[in-house]
Structure 1
Amino acid sequence: MTNSNSSLLFLLKKHNFQPYIQRFLQLPIVNITIGIIIILSVILTIVELSIPEKSPYLLICNTFSKIFTILFVIELSFRFIVAPNKKVYFKEYWLDILAILPLLRVFRSIRALRLLRLLRILRLSRFFNRYASTFPYILQRGIKEYLIVVGLLLLTIMFGSVAILVFEGSSNPNLTSLEEGFWFSVYSLFAGEPIPASPSSLGGKIVGVFVMFMNVTIFAMFTGTVSAFMVDKIRREDDIVDWESFNNHTIICGWNRKAEIIVREYKAAGKNEGIPIIVIAEFDDEPNFIAPDLKSRIQFLKDDFTKVTALEKAGISRAETCIILCDKTHSRSDQDADARTILAALTAEKLNPNVYTCAELLNREYGSHLDMGHVNDYIVSQEQSGFLLAQAALNRGLMGVFSELLTYERGNQFYRITITAEWVGKTFLDLFIHIKQTHNAILIAVSQPQGKFKINPDRYIFQEKDNLIVISTREIKL
């Protein structure tokens, strides 16, 4: 950079204008203006290299080219100032830095180096990718690939058209104008051989080989992109779902190993037969199942489960149960994962106060947020695992009991049943004996309407709306 630019950098750093510069560079109008200047700069470079060196218009083109390049120097300097990581900055903008080299006096005499300005065309793909969220979903998924293919195609044709004219314009009668250079690039790119005439100079031959090499590269990328597009389109057509048809269903927010266990338990318990479980999670492809037969019980919705639109699309207003799992994808910290869980749980309760919401936390300290939001239940997964390990160490062999009681796939399980009117006013012991004698089940606790539990109470008189917690091999009715 020049001395004036170095002084500018020093002044801006001294007065800490970085936040203002960063906000300025993020303005849409600034990015659009830069994109327009890039297009004008590329067009001007093509015109400048295609006209004779003695042309009176060459000085005008050179002047505007210098103005555009100075603007890019200022812009890149600003980006360098606000860049938190200089290595990342040079990795992202090294092509743009190469494109401003013709401004330096040592490179001005080499006309062919002006071709470096054409590299700016690749930067347009970055601007389009930045605003890809406004495109349809199918384009969002492959926007980078599409832009890379189009960018390489345009760059190859423009570079070949101008470069072949620079090296062959004075010696090859078949390549004396920009139009002939353009058709040379197009024919050579698609035919894979120099057409209509082979270059005679070393520089021209290198340009011809480059264009033919890009033929193979772009064709391979184009074929792969179109194939991926068609496969994705066909797969998405197969996955068209009538989300409005789901009712009294279960929604699982997030996906990890626990989600598959939950689905397996639902299947073993025979709950919601014929009603798929909707899983809201962010992933590119559907996950692999340890038990492939469970896939038919799940309908995936690829979205962020903290968004209101995603929960509404999954039918949270009609759902019976909503389970929010800890989401640590994308290298999220424990605090971020719990924050997403709390946000999703509170949103689900707000959208449907009648849905039974159960959330997974990593830190019990955040449980108070769920209590204030009237979330029905939550577990602290790491804490629960610690309790089980402690019980296994203190009471040897106890894990076998827990393993049977916590799964519906074998033996005895926990069941929740509603008390009938005939048992209201009677004691816990009376019903304990009746259930054991009649159903070979064990009454262990009472769930009260306020959400409190009485586990193995000494003396308890049943009231209306009490629920019973029993251990049994099957679901029973009083």
Structure 2
Amino acid sequence: MFNVLVKYFEKFKFKLDRHTFHWLIFIAILILVSSALLIMLVEPDEQFSNFIDALWWAIVTATTVGYGDKYAVTLLGRIISIIVMLLGIGIVGGITAKLADIFIEFKRRRELGEVEAEYTGHIVICGWSSKAKEIINQILNEDLERKQIVLVADIERDPFLDNDLIHFVRGDITREEVLKRAGVQRAKSAIVLNADENDATTVLTVLTIETLNPDIYTIAEISSSENKIHLKNANVDEIIVNNQINSQLMVRSALYQGTSQVISELLSNESGNEIYIFTADNKDIGNNFLDVFTKYKREDDIILLGIKREDQIITNPANDEKIQAGDKYFYIAKTKAK
């Protein structure tokens, strides 16, 4: 029984005073059992006819609950009751204080990012900046079955302490032991931000992540397009070049006014339409893209932008492009269709 209790509290990942906790539980059980046996010896049979009734009396007496359904009627029985009350207050108080210390310590360590993340299928975000905060808020606003996020950053305290959906792990994002504490080996996807504007940090972080979990879907941010080759060699799934995207968007907006507003609406989930993706229906396989485009616009009021076919992205496919098994559609809609 003692080992079961200790193993339960060990999940909080901090040092538990096993000796003290063992003795508190042992003494509590000893007092309850011995007092139950003693009360059966000194009290009439009609008052405590079996050990279960006596143990019940011992528990409610030691915890000073005192339901009154079972009570001592003899002088010796009342003396035993007083002793059980006094001892019970001390033992129960000690156990309660010990448990309070455990949870306070756990909360402190969680705030400092020292608690290991034990999730599966979560999203890991590496690096902290105002952009990271915006990304996290966008994920939380999405209509997802699982929104569990693990933030890995070398900052002092958890910036989302009151949000149970966000788990903070403190440390250098390039360190293997830090990423293991974030549960990267069990994560669904990882976003590596270029928070320090050092592409070498991003590359090293991605290499470590891919080593720990080759199946993870990684999105990495860099400042220079020259370093894209390093990320591709590291099997990064998507690469975002900061300056390149900003400059391209500015050019398109200068040439075609309003472009930035359209892109902003599609990328934000706060209002308007957004970009989503879903797997092609079996009924669509073999049909022309124009036919399925018309079908989804008419039936679901969504606009298909293109097809993701394995590692290939086909935007604005030809009208007679045949839909294949495993194809996924990129589409625009006000709400998630599927």
Give me the TM-score of the superposition, normalised by structure 1.
0.46
Once the two structures are superposed, the pairs formed by residues 334-345 of structure 1 within 5 Å of their partners are: 334=197, 337-345=198-206
Select the residue among 236, 252, 259 that pairs with 1:398: 259
State the SS of the aligned residue for 2:135: helix
Change (3 A) 1:393 1:470: same
Amino acid at match of 1:475: K
Aligned partners of 2:183 and 2:295: how far apart in 1? 42
Larger-Rg structure: 1
1:299 partnered with 2:299: no
1:258 partnered with 2:131: yes
The offset of 1:258, in angstroms, is: 1.1
Aligned partners of 2:105 and 2:298: how far apart in 1? 60
1:421 partnered with 2:289: no
Amino acid at match of 1:360: E
1:462 partnered with 2:323: yes
Mapped contact 1:442–1:471 kept (Cα < 8 A): yes
State the SS of the aligned residue for 1:370: helix
State the SS of the aligned residue for 2:230: helix
2:83 alignment partner in structure 1: none
Mapped contact 1:419–1:468 kept (Cα < 8 A): yes
Mapped contact 2:297–2:303 kept (Cα < 8 A): yes
Unaligned runs of 5+ in 2: 1-103
1:383 alignment partner in structure 2: 244
Unaligned runs of 5+ in 1: 1-231, 329-333
Aligned partners of 2:109 and 2:191: how far apart in 1? 28
Amino acid at match of 2:218: T
State the SS of the aligned residue for 2:173: coil
The offset of 1:409, in angstroms, is: 1.3
State the SS of the aligned residue for 1:399: helix
Amino acid at match of 2:156: D
The offset of 1:272, in angstroms, is: 4.9
Select the residue among 116, 119, 122 that pairs with 1:243: 116
Aligned partners of 1:324 and 1:260: how far apart in 2? 13
2:179 alignment partner in structure 1: 311
Mapped contact 1:446–1:468 kept (Cα < 8 A): yes
Once the two structures are superposed, the pairs formed by residues 51-450 of structure 1 within 5 Å of their partners are: 236-237=108-109, 239=111, 243=116, 245-273=118-146, 275-287=147-159, 295-328=163-196, 334=197, 337-449=198-310
The offset of 1:244, in angstroms, is: 5.1
Amino acid at match of 2:293: F
Q: Which has the higher helix share?
A: 1
Aligned partners of 2:234 and 2:109: how far apart in 1? 39
Mapped contact 1:263–1:297 kept (Cα < 8 A): no
Aligned partners of 1:234 and 1:418: how far apart in 2? 42
Aligned partners of 1:464 and 1:346: how far apart in 2? 32
The offset of 1:284, in angstroms, is: 2.3
State the SS of the aligned residue for 2:329: strand
Amino acid at match of 1:414: I
The offset of 1:387, in angstroms, is: 1.2
Amino acid at match of 2:150: I
Change (3 A) 1:423 1:256: same
The offset of 1:238, in angstroms, is: 5.7
Aligned partners of 1:264 and 1:441: how far apart in 2? 25
Aligned partners of 1:474 and 1:314: how far apart in 2? 31
Q: Using CA pairs under 8 Å that are at least 6 residues apart, name the structure with larger relative contact order, 1 or 2.
A: 2
Superposition CA RMSD, Å: 2.3
State the SS of the aligned residue for 1:389: helix
Aligned partners of 2:134 and 2:189: how far apart in 1? 16
Amino acid at match of 2:183: G
State the SS of the aligned residue for 1:245: coil
Mapped contact 2:117–2:167 kept (Cα < 8 A): no
The offset of 1:234, in angstroms, is: 8.5
Size of the alignment, in residue pairs? 234
Mapped contact 1:252–1:279 kept (Cα < 8 A): yes
Once the two structures are superposed, the pairs formed by residues 18-29 of structure 1 within 5 Å of their partners are: none
Change (3 A) 1:272 1:307: farther
Aligned partners of 1:319 and 1:441: how far apart in 2? 31
Aligned partners of 1:413 and 1:234: how far apart in 2? 39
State the SS of the aligned residue for 1:445: strand
Q: Quick one: percent identity of the two aligned structures?
A: 31
The offset of 1:402, in angstroms, is: 1.3
The offset of 1:475, in angstroms, is: 1.6
The offset of 1:237, in angstroms, is: 4.4
Mapped contact 1:249–1:272 kept (Cα < 8 A): no
Higher mean C-alpha displacement, 238-247 vs 313-322 = 238-247
Q: Which has the higher strand share?
A: 2
State the SS of the aligned residue for 1:339: helix
Aligned partners of 2:182 and 2:296: how far apart in 1? 40
Mapped contact 2:110–2:168 kept (Cα < 8 A): no
